[in-house]
Amino acid sequence: MRVARALGTLPRLAQALARGELSYSKVRALTRVATPETEERLLKVGKAGTALHVERIVRAWRYVDRQAEIRNTAERHRSRALHVYQDEDGMVVVRGRLEPEAGAVLMQALAAARETLYARRRPTADVPAGTSRDAAITDDLPSWGQQQADALTLIAETALRQGLDPGAPAERYQVVVHVDAAVLADPEAPGQAVVEGTRVSAETAQRLACDASRVVMRHDAGGDITEVSARTRTIPPAIRRALHHRDQGCRFPGCGSRFGQGHHIKHWAHGGPTTLSNLATLCRRHHRAVHEEGYQIERKADGELVFRWPTGLMLAVVPPPPTILDAVDMLRAQDDALGLPIDAHTSTPSWLGEQLDLDYAISVLHPFACRPSERVN
């Protein structure tokens, strides 16, 4: 898959592979480093050298790349900036560059703030789609950009009110759910769940409670708080690490998102344990699909996950492969049709047995390497 994706931007290498001039192992190595700019010269390396030569040159190339990457990271760090200034019409303009990890924290905070502000506006389980109230809600939903602006304001206000201590990493994203205990355990039960002042559906409350630091405040029928629990994490750090290691991102068929939340297959409010066998990683979108949109997930006795459509039909893990009757005959016929005479010598390198001078090869091939004449010993 990696090689196929890389070849999408490397037409010359793709063609050489298609014409049988480069072996797959050479192409696999070359696509680790080749870019559209360096493709041409790396193609020559592939045609001239043996697979071992190509491997060694690629390894040295990546070393030079890593050194450049270290310099780039330092440069990126220096280039971080945030400019906030007032425009002529009085609006405040925000423009900046953040390092990836700082940006991730900002985006996560924006997403959490948007959810807090606008989750209630989305159609919820108790408002059937298509009713007039539903339509009105959808109509006046602010645009994405407006929601982002409101979210940033909320973040700033929250920071000023609560102080600027980020706390331990796992505690940065805390959700306070006020919930009627019966609702958390059973979405059909009368009662309500409120996220920091916003009424949410029971399904949403369950999703938020699935993986969060939580402070649960129980209310009696009159709305008075009867009990406030200590803050706990629904998924302790050690289990979260193991979960992340096992799942490597969202498990929903065909998703592939690397960012995920822990989902309790049987919810903890229903007595489901926080164990690896009862947990699965789902991205934000598919976590919502499972809790709020009726998709189902279960784990079979052999540990495999099964996903179902809201209708109960099983979701295929991967689409079935096309039927190929005789792969070799088909490939030969295709090659003949394209006028490709591929034989045992098509991929033989032009190498004549001379020694590979790796230092020299890299110094003339790699765009960032210093030339031998510039080298200081």
- 95 has which bridge partners? 83
Nearest residue (CB) to Zn ion, 22 versus 290 = 290
Which of these ranges, 27-35, 166-174, 197-205, 255-263, lies near Zn ion under the rule CB under 5 A?
255-263
Q: Contacting Zn ion (CB under 5 A), which of 53, 178, 240, 286?
A: 286
Instruction: By CB under 5 A, name the one of 68, 105, 194, 255 that touches Zn ion.
Output: 255
Q: How far, in Å, CA of 13 to CA of 39, rounded? A: 7
Pairing of strands 193-195, 198-200: antiparallel
Q: Is residue 257 involved in binding Zn ion (CB under 5 A)?
A: yes
CB 268 to Zn ion: min, Å = 10
Which pair of tokens denotes residue 296? 């189902």
Beta-carbon neighbour count of residue 170 at 10 Å? 14
With binding defined as CB under 5 A, does residue 235 bind Zn ion? no
Tell me which of 60, 113, 250, 361 binds Zn ion, using CB under 5 A. 250
> In the complex with Zn ion, which residue's Cβ is closer, 210 or 212?
210
Angle, CA of 342, 343 and 347, to the nearest 5°: 80
- Cα–Cα distance between 361 and 365 in angstroms, integer? 6
When binding is defined by CB under 5 A, the residue of 6, 210, 243, 280 that contacts Zn ion is 210
**Could you tell me the smallest distance in angstroms from the CB atom of residue 207 to Zn ion?**
5
Q: How far is the CB of 194 from Zn ion (least distance, A)?
A: 19
For position 252 contacting Zn ion by CB under 5 A, the verdict is yes
Other C-beta atoms lying within 10 Å of the C-beta of residue 30:
28
- The yes or no reply on residue 151 touching Zn ion (CB under 5 A) is no
| 3 state SS of 336 | helix
Question: Which span sits near Zn ion by CB under 5 A: 152-160, 184-192, 218-226, 250-258?
Answer: 250-258
| Cβ 250 to Zn ion shortest distance, Å | 3
Buried b (16+ CB within 10 A) or exposed e, 74-103: eeeeeeeeeeeeeeeeeeeeeeeeeeeeee
Q: Is residue 263 a contact residue for Zn ion (CB under 5 A)?
A: yes
Which residue lies nearer to Zn ion by CB, 41 or 288? 288
CA angle, residues 18, 23, 26, in degrees to nearest 5: 115
Interface ranges with Zn ion (CB under 5 A): 210, 250, 252, 255, 257, 263, 283, 286
